[in-house]
Amino acid sequence: MLIFDDVEVLDFCGPFEVFSVARLPGDDTRDESQAPFRAVTIAEREGLVRCVGGLLVQPQYTLENHPPLDILVVPGGWGTRREADNDIVLDWIAAQDRHTLLTTSVCTGAFLLALRGILDGKEATTHWASITRLRDSHPAVTVLDDVRYVDTGRVITSAGISAGIDMALHVVSRLLGPEAAAYTARQMEYERWHPAKGAEA
């Protein structure tokens, strides 16, 4: 999970919860070393990150010292407007995308992917209030509205805030199976998740 000042809290905390809770059906172990995912937070530099609403988060790693990533989650929030001019972060996202199994975004995190061409020629989505801005500023991207997430294979984008939970559960379903995603959703008491509905709104 990339985080930065003015990141939307649930954009990264929602997927973080999904990946940290994810288990195969019937696996009630609390041994994190045996968990299928290891969720971590990564910031440009050391020090507290001030999220939307004032929540302070201490990132576990920086862009320079994080472990290799299989899945990248780029969240949104007002901070994406500033990060859109931050070549250090944008270049890091592009570099990670060359090696990840999956590159994902939540909400306006899609803009940071789009700025490095990761969404060019693909379908994508973002927060409903930013659909037109993404469509106008990145015409090479086919922007979809009224969907919770869009899976194009290696790149998955989601709509705003709580939709990141659906996207993360979809990733669990893809990698571990729909039963694991349903089990994880039940552990979270997240009743919205319905694997059969896919990316429907």
Give the integer Cα–Cα distance in Å for 41 and 12.
Answer: 9
Q: What share of the chain is helix, strand, coil (3-state, %, to 5)?
A: 40, 15, 45
What tens-digit pLDDT sequence spans the chain (201 residues)? 999 999 999 999 999 999 999 988 877 767 777 789 999 999 999 999 999 999 999 999 999 999 999 999 999 999 999 999 999 999 999 999 999 999 999 999 999 999 999 999 999 999 999 999 999 999 999 999 999 999 999 999 999 999 999 999 999 999 999 999 999 999 999 987 766 554 443
Taking only the tens place, the pLDDT of each residue in 86-137 is: 999 999 999 999 999 999 999 999 999 999 999 999 999 999 999 999 999 9
Q: Which residues are catalytic?
A: 107
**149-176: burial string, b at 16+ Cβ within 10 Å, e else:** bbbeeebbbbbbbbbbbbbbbbbbbebb
Question: What's the pLDDT score for residue 29?
Answer: 67
